[in-house]
Structure 1
Amino acid sequence: MREVFQQELAEVQERLVEIATLVAVSIQNATQAFNESNVSLAETVIADDDKIDLAALELDELAINILARQQPVARDLRIVVSALRISASLERMGDMSEHIAQLARYRFPDKVVPKSLRGTFQELGALDVAIANKLVELLKTEDVRLAEEIRNDDDRIDELHLSVFDKVLGETWKGAAIDTVDSTLASRYHERFADHAVSIAKKVQYLATGDWVVAPS
């Protein structure tokens, strides 16, 4: 029974990595669609979000089944419960990718944001893609150095997110109302994507080290 239980825990980890990989592909495609006004790629992201949702649901069912049958304790219990919470965060990251892609679809054939902000959003997208790829490796390896890198990337995303608000609220802003709305929404989606990744990184770091990372006030 113990061997079966360990195999089930390994399957939980494998499924988390699979979902994280789907999310990484999703944000890569979403940011490309956003920056290039690629409606075909945007449609792919939107359609593929169902795959992320289904994979997360199936993982949740597996974890709940393990809890009911195996009644894990101590670290094993933390692994299963953390998997449920990580699955929820990954699903939300997929939603953020979908929202970014939806903006690209709605504004096609135009670009979503004015020229003055495109460099900022290219950096936001690149950082989110990097975070997603690091998250895949973190879930595979539990290398806590990756968790620290994800938090550092998130700090930069927060800076860029604030810079978007400063830009659209500044006296020199020439964008129309729709530009203001799209820019603030898109920035928020990028920022929330990274926040969910940080939340996952903290949980993995806790499982690996036993130490819970508390964000500075």
Structure 2
Amino acid sequence: MAAAQPPRAARGSGALMHELSNDGARRQFEFYLEEMILPLMVASAQSGERECHIVVLTDDDVVDWDEEYPPQMGEEYSQIIYSTKLYRFFKYIENRDVAKSVLKERGLKKIRLGIEGYPTYKEKIKKRPGGRPEVIYNYVQRPFIRMSWEKEEGKSRHVDFQCVKSKSITNLAAAAADIPQDQLVVMHPTPQVDELDILPIHPPSGNNDLDPDAQNPMP
């Protein structure tokens, strides 16, 4: 006797849950975009920048750089969001796909989302031949967002925050100075980078607590 087939609803439950998760991720990212990310974009634009590179750290991450021997790979130009909730959101590749789609819809350019190593504290200093020091930092794997709000090369350029719906640019600028403590943001100037696809190669981290499949930046 042939085994009974599961109901159609049960057979399609995986696809249904996937779509429900996508819908939920879109709503959640739109909230994160307005409350956490847009204030950094506004601050960058007001300082004359035309792109930003944001690293998402957890609430418990501690960044303690040696003033005499800071990291040498340009991390000082990154902006930081301390938010375990946003970190967990970007843990999934599917959520990063949804976020990239939302950013594209809002008119942003050169969007890159993925995982990269970020230096947290100095572990030790080695002396190279000739007396030149080599500083070794502890790196953790954390999500990043990199994007620009300028038109593509060869077209007219202007700042266009199409993602602003319920708040004006003026209100967002004010909000940038009044971010809740659980969304503490450390702001740094962003660099002018010509090749956004190339990320610095950092030493492998021993604190990689993200999914192995989520390690490579999205194309």
TM-score by length of 1: 0.27
Of Structure 1 and Structure 2, the greater strand share is in 2
Which of 1 and 2 has greater Rg? Answer: 2
Of Structure 1 and Structure 2, the greater helix share is in 1
TM-score by length of 2: 0.27
